[in-house]
């Protein structure tokens, strides 16, 4: 009996030791990645937060004195910050739905079996790999009111010429067009992969039941794709909210700040005006706002996944 007890205790000890060893080995594998992540991800964020609550001394190029919420107060008092926020919202409200709808529509169209489909898919990647500054420059030429091909084509139908970079609405439209040109292929590729992974038997059963093309799209494809659409939206949202390079290259944020998206404003305040503390405060505000909105989108996405 006593021997059994000793044996049981030993078994318990060895189980604990095994668990500990297992835990240790897991952490040993995770530690390098965790340390690396902390160094490259957490440290810059924490340092940005520190700068946002400090006075930034250019002589030592570092945060030197705790000033509390002062930088945040300056930022929130600056009409340019709020204007940039509005501009960013307008851009997101137009660009994201257009890219998602267009991306999934194109994917649906090219999903049919036809020769050269893979070549077209490969070509779709090109806009994504073009540097944003180059894309902005090319589109400036394409949309140039005098020499641009777009105005020439519009002119053939008796319209225009349109001043793409001189009119506030058209300048925003230009930004949305360029961004859509760059990022719709990403949505197309994601949607194509999603369409290919849809269960074939459901469609076969629907066909046997006499469902037409529209019924299959509306009642089967779209509901099955909803979680993917939601996830793609979140991924694109996270990318789009950071956009500033296209605006910098194509419109310089103009005319009169009409395309001055928030990240371009932050960039200009930091590198042109050398107001690093205020820029850090803005970056933190955007970080928090993005996290909250992303959280809401993720919950929505999970809800849709569970529903469909």
Partner 1 sequence: MKQSLNLMNSISRRALLVAAAVVATVPAALAQEVEIRVMANEAFANSIETTEVVEFNKHYPNIKVVVDGVPYVELLAKMMLDSTSPTPVYDVMIIDDPWAPQLAEIGVLQDLKSDEIAAFTDPDYDWSDFNAAPLAAGEWKGVQYGVPLRSNMLMMFYNRTLYDKAGVPAPTPALTWDEYLAQAEKLVQDTDGDGKIDSWAVDTYFVREPLTPTIWQTIMNSNGGKLLDADGKPAFNSEVGIAALDTHKKLLDFAPPGALGHGFTESLQAFRQGTVATMFQWGSVYRSSAVDPKSTTLTPEEVGIQVMPAGSVTAGAHRGIWSGAMSAKSQQKEAAWTFLQWLSSKEGETWRANNLGTFPARKSTLASTPAEDSQWLTPIYTALQLAYDVAAKGEMWRIRHPRSDAAQQILADEIGRAMAGRVTSEEALTTAADKIEKILK
Q: State in angstroms the smallest separation of the CB of 171 from partner 1.
A: 8
Beta carbon nearer to partner 1, 110 or 254 = 254
**Residue 55 bridge partners (DSSP):** 65
Beta carbon nearer to partner 1, 139 or 186 = 139
Helices and strands of the chain, counted as H and E runs:
15, 2
Contact of 289 with 277, CB cutoff 8 Å: no
Select the residue interacting with partner 1 from 60, 118, 169, 197 (CB under 8 A): 60
Question: Does 274 sit near partner 1 (CB under 8 A)?
Answer: yes
Q: State in angstroms the smallest separation of the CB of 39 from partner 1.
A: 20
Select the residue interacting with partner 1 from 2, 58, 109, 122 (CB under 8 A): 58
Please name the residues in contact with 139: beta carbons below 8 A apart, sequence gap of 6 or more: 174, 177, 178, 181, 250
Beta carbon nearer to partner 1, 162 or 191 = 162
Question: Does 252 sit near partner 1 (CB under 8 A)?
Answer: yes
Question: If you write DSSP's letter for every residue of 221-254 in order, what string do you get?
Answer: IHHHHHHHHHHHHHHHHHHHTT--HHHHHHTTT-
Query: What is the C-alpha separation between 237 and 229, in angstroms, rounded?
Result: 12
Select the residue interacting with partner 1 from 103, 136, 227, 253 (CB under 8 A): 253
Beta carbon nearer to partner 1, 88 or 190 = 88
Q: How far is CA 103 from the centre of its chain?
A: 15
Please state the φ and ψ torsions of residue 63, each to the nearest 5 degrees: -75, 125
Query: What is the C-alpha separation between 65 and 51, in angstroms, rounded?
Result: 9
Size of the site for partner 1 (CB under 8 A): 33
Select the residue interacting with partner 1 from 40, 213, 214, 272 (CB under 8 A): 272
* Contact stretch for partner 1 (CB under 8 A) within 196-204, 227-235, 263-271, 289-297: 263-271
Sites of contact with partner 1 (CB under 8 A): 58-61, 80, 140, 144-146, 161, 163-166, 168, 171, 251-258, 260, 268-275
């Amino acid at each position: 009996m006593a021997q059994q007890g000793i044996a049981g205790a030993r078994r318990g000890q060895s189980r604990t030791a095994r668990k500990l060893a297992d835990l240790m080995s897991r952490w040993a594998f995770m530690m390098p990645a965790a340390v690396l992540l902390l160094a490259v991800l957490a440290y810059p964020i924490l340092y940005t937060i520190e700068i946002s609550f400090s006075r930034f001394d250019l002589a030592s190029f570092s945060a030197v004195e705790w000033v509390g919420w002062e930088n945040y107060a300056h930022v929130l008092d600056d009409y340019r910050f709020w204007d940039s926020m509005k501009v960013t919202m307008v851009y997101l409200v137009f660009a994201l739905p257009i890219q998602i709808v267009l991306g999934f529509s194109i994917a649906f169209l090219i999903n049919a079996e036809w020769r050269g489909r893979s070549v077209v898919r490969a070509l779709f990647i090109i806009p994504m790999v073009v540097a944003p500054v180059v894309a902005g420059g090319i589109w400036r030429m394409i949309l140039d009111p005098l020499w641009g091909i777009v105005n020439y084509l519009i002119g053939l139908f008796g319209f225009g010429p349109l001043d793409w970079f001189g009119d506030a609405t058209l300048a925003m439209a230009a930004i949305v067009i360029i961004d859509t040109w760059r990022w719709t292929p990403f949505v197309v590729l994601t949607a194509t992969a999603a369409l290919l992974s849809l269960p074939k038997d459901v469609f076969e059963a629907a066909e046997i039941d006499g469902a037409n093309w529209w019924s299959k799209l509306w009642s089967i494809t779209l509901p099955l794709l909803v979680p993917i659409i939601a996830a793609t939206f979140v991924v694109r949202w996270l990318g789009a909210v950071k956009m500033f390079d296209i605006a910098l290259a194509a419109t310089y944020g103009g005319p009169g700040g009409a395309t001055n998206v928030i990240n371009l404003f932050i960039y200009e305040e930091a590198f042109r005006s050398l107001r690093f503390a205020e820029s850090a405060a803005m970056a933190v505000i955007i970080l928090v706002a993005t996290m909250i909105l992303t959280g809401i989108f993720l919950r929505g996405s999970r809800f849709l996944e569970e529903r469909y």
